[in-house]
Amino acid sequence: MPLAIVHDYLNQLGGAEKVLSSFLRLAPDATVYTSVMRAEVRDSCVPGDLPVETSFLQRLPFAVERTRLYLPLLPLAFERMNLQGHELVLSISSAFAKGIRPPDGIPHLCYCQTPMRFAWNLDGYLRYERVSSVTRAAVRLLMARFREWDVNTSKRVTEFIAISRTVQERIWRFYGRESRIVYPPVDTEMYRPVSPQEKGEYYLVLSRLLPYKRIDVAIESCNRLRLPLIVAGEGRDEPRLRRMAGATVRFAGRVSDEEARRLLACARALILVAEEDFGLTPVEAMASGTPVIAYRAGGATESVVEGETGMFFDGQEPEPLMEALRRFNPYDYDPQHCVEQARRFDVSRFLSAWQQILREYGYHAHAEAA
């Protein structure tokens, strides 16, 4: 059993799960370890015969559906995982996975999506959560413990690999550790621009519907400008977002990969208000020939070329986004330039970079995948 891949959770589909799928192309003999797992999520990103080991949380009531209820137990869930028999450990971590205890003498690579976001940016999270003052106080105490744990467990990592310059800077700031960068993978060949005649008039948000994603800003902006907006995705913030949506806003719910590609290709532009660690969706939009209107922060500043493949706005409030929407002209952006920029983040580059890294640590990745 040469390679163990440790993943935070397999109970929702997002960018990290696409990353896991790509790693499994390099390591078809790996064993996957995670805290909790939904069968449908596993089936979408893990080949059918590959073993997935879950923690003790999998057996607890509502842990899969409402993992946040067991937040204080997640560090323990990973520290108790038995990784004996593996020659190399790779964690894909945005929170807890990097806290595993590798066997003595076994290298541990961490592909860091970000240091624990909700612990280090607590005020940013609480600002958009409707919770009581008592709950806020309890959360602050817990997050103080999590920050200490996060720093201490960073010492269990042999090498950090960051998903972006944004994350690389956080790794240095919080852990005092250097890292190299490998951008996450997008299979750009799966996306195709459409003809001008097939383009729609709508703007698109394609995201999990969570408070920190700030989808409310996109909805409010399109409400006030009476612009057509499609919101594709699902999440716990959906009821609130539906209540505030006006007549020009439509919710598409959870969409298939095929429908997501169609929505991206036919959109006037993709709107991104969140500060993403990297953000696969802007790259997917560009691979579809669609420009991006993004908040000027985080990973979008590394993938989107201002004036060529999209535009930025300054501030997560309606007014800056509305000003950008007023100025936006889709004919200012060449779809082919968007496609060429997206190819800088193609899955082939990711696989090649990781094949080299794994080789440095004595693991020979599946050659056909890279």
Nearest Cα residue to 94 out of 12, 39, 163 = 163
User: Which phi and psi (to 5°) does residue 48 adopt?
Assistant: -55, -35
Quick one: 58 exposed, middle or buried, by C-beta within 10 A (0-12, 13-18, 19+)?
middle
- Rounded distance, CA 181 to CA 269, Å? 28
Q: Which fold has domain 3-185+346-360?
A: Rossmann fold (3.40.50)
Q: Lay out the sheet containing 108-112: strands in order across.
A: 52-54, 31-34, 3-7, 88-93, 108-112, 159-162, 179-181
- 97 Cβ contact list (under 8 Å, min separation 6): 6, 7, 8, 34, 78, 91, 110
Segments making up each domain of the chain, as ranges:
3-185+346-360, 188-344
- Report how far Cα 164 is from the mean position of its chain's Cα atoms: 12
- Rounded distance, CA 314 to CA 322, Å? 11
pLDDT for the residue 190: 96
Tell me the pLDDT of the chain (370 aa) as tens digits.
589 999 999 998 888 899 999 999 999 989 999 999 999 999 989 988 888 999 999 999 999 999 989 999 999 999 999 999 999 999 999 999 999 999 999 999 999 999 998 899 887 777 777 777 888 888 899 999 999 999 999 999 999 999 999 999 999 999 999 999 999 999 999 999 999 999 999 999 999 999 999 999 999 999 999 999 999 999 999 999 999 999 999 999 999 999 999 999 999 999 999 999 999 999 999 999 999 999 999 999 999 999 999 999 999 999 999 999 999 999 999 999 999 999 999 999 999 999 999 999 998 877 555 5
| Encoded amino acid at 219, one letter | I
> What are the tokens at 146?
């999590």
User: Which phi and psi (to 5°) does residue 272 adopt?
Assistant: -130, 115
How many Cβ atoms from other residues are within 10 Å of residue 198's Cβ? 10
- Rounded distance, CA 39 to CA 42, Å? 5
Nearest Cα residue to 150 out of 127, 182, 174 = 174
| 232 close to 260: Cβ distance less than 8 angstroms | yes
- Residue 108's H or E segment, with its range, is strand 108-112
pTM higher than the cut 0.85: yes
pLDDT for the residue 206: 98
How far from 108 is each of 80, 85, 325, CA to CA, in Å?
16, 14, 45
DSSP, res 330: G
How far from 96 is each of 17, 87, 151, 223, 242, CA to CA, in Å?
15, 21, 11, 38, 32
> What are the tokens at 228?
């057509």
Classified as helix, coil or strand, 105 is: coil
- Residue 136's H or E segment, with its range, is helix 133-153
- Rounded distance, CA 243 to CA 216, Å? 10
| 183 close to 345: Cβ distance less than 8 angstroms | yes
Classified as helix, coil or strand, 82 is: coil
Question: Looking at the domain that runs over 188-344, which CATH code has it been given?
Answer: 3.40.50.2000
> What are the tokens at 61?
């009531």
pLDDT for the residue 121: 86
